Amino acid sequence: MREAKQPAGGPFAHGGGRVDRTMGLVLLALLPATGYGLYLFGWPAINLLVVTVLAAALAEAACLRIAGRRVWPTLGDGSAVLTGWLLAMTLPPWAPWWIGAFGAVFALVFAKHVYGGLGQNLFNPAMVGRVALLISFPLEMTRWLAPRPLMTEGAPGFLEGLEITFLGGAPADAVSGASVLGHVKTELSRGHTVSDALAGAPDRIQMALGQMPGSLGETSAALLLAGGLLLLVTRVIRWPIPAAMLGTLAAAGAAPHLIDPARYPDAMVHLLSGATLLGAFFIATDYVTSPATLRGQLIFGAGCGLLVFVIRTWTGYPEGVAFAVLLMNAATPLIDRWVRPRVFGRTARGRPLDHAATLIEERAGG
């Protein structure tokens, strides 16, 4: 018998859950939306995704090596790949390669390994990477273009794609369009009404299908939703964060729209555009940086939704998912400290239950 190797305690059974399975399912859930986005934006987008994911994996490996930890078991959990992937989903698809590489390395080094690696970080690494890019390279980060589906007229071929990604960005004749939210913001600042602004923008169906300018992850709402549902069904994520985030955003968006439709876009615009769905299902739900209890997650999700609305409506940024999530990330330790489940046999405030009170309750109840 193997006395020497035996740990001291049980249980001697395991449910079979695995970290790499979880990460794998998230990637799987991202696949449809990613695939469609890649189709819409062609070879440059594919190149960018590959570069960003590779940079993230290499950065993780380097950090592990420097920290003197074994590289493979940790890299194999898939979390670095997921971070790179999510980051790439939020970039302008034709951005040059160094945007993706810089963002990924920044995310892995400064938002993950500086804190001690997986599970230790306070902020969502992909969102830290995105915000760092937005602040450092505002121009490259807001150069959107209308979709040019693969193998259609005017789409760049493979070599052209390499050129765009690695040698100097989008050609001058690329149709440059603003994302829907950016468009609305600009038009509003020019004194137009929302309905005027939206008249020139893609309609709701196009938005749901993703035929509009934007990042990979801002395109197809329907496919993102499908991915999110997959995560819910496989219990990789739980409902409170997406439900609270989308619900709050919709409610916050609907109320002012009712009062002044000329100034405020309706709830559907908020839900279907920008990184709302990507954020609600894939980013805000990041385990490490969100609260651990159901009630905490409800608060967290609601906070994200509200902040997204506030940032989109009253700040200079057209899109606010990244900032909103990061702000709520900062609140997570506090939420986990104050919002805990009620312990068995205790009141919500932690005192042992008074059984006399329980008995009376029981009588009153039945």
- Output the smallest distance, CB 132 to another protein, in A: 23
**What own/partner pairs with CB < 8 Å and gap ≥ 24 does 147-156 have?**
147/40, 147/41, 147/210, 147/211, 147/212, 147/213, 147/219, 148/40, 148/41, 148/42, 148/174, 149/39, 149/40, 149/42, 150/38, 150/39, 150/42, 150/43, 155/42, 155/43, 156/42, 156/43, 156/44
Cα separation, 238 vs 124, whole angstroms:
18
For the record, the structure tokens of 253 come out as: 């968006």
- Helices and strands per DSSP (H, E), number in the chain: 17, 0
Q: Name 16's bridge partners.
A: none
Distances (CA, A) of 107 to 122, 152, 316: 12, 35, 24
Cα separation, 38 vs 46, whole angstroms:
6
Using the minimum distance from each CB to another protein, give the nearer residue, 73 or 154: 73
DSSP-derived secondary structure for 121-146: -SS-HHHHHHHHHHHH-HHHHT--B-
Q: Which residues bind another protein (CB under 8 A)?
A: 1-3, 6-19, 21-22, 73-74, 77, 79, 117-120, 238, 287-288, 290, 292-294, 336, 340-346, 352-355, 358-359, 362
- Output the smallest distance, CB 139 to another protein, in A: 36
Residue 8: its H or E element? none
Using the minimum distance from each CB to another protein, give the nearer residue, 119 or 200: 119
What letter would DSSP give residue 283? Answer: I
* SS3 call for 346: strand
- Output the smallest distance, CB 114 to another protein, in A: 15
Using the minimum distance from each CB to another protein, give the nearer residue, 21 or 204: 21
Q: Helices 19-66 and 158-167: crossing angle, nearest 10°? A: 50
- Contact predicate 282/88, CB 8 Å: no
Using the minimum distance from each CB to another protein, give the nearer residue, 255 or 357: 357
- Output the smallest distance, CB 356 to another protein, in A: 9
For the record, the structure tokens of 332 come out as: 């997570």
Using the minimum distance from each CB to another protein, give the nearer residue, 19 or 226: 19
Cα separation, 226 vs 157, whole angstroms:
30
- Contact predicate 158/148, CB 8 Å: no
Alpha helices by DSSP H, listed for 234-343, are 240-259, 267-272, 276-278, 294-314, 321-338
Using the minimum distance from each CB to another protein, give the nearer residue, 15 or 168: 15
Using the minimum distance from each CB to another protein, give the nearer residue, 45 or 81: 81
Using the minimum distance from each CB to another protein, give the nearer residue, 66 or 255: 66
Using the minimum distance from each CB to another protein, give the nearer residue, 264 or 282: 282
Using the minimum distance from each CB to another protein, give the nearer residue, 11 or 316: 11
Residue listed under structure tokens 């950090």: 63
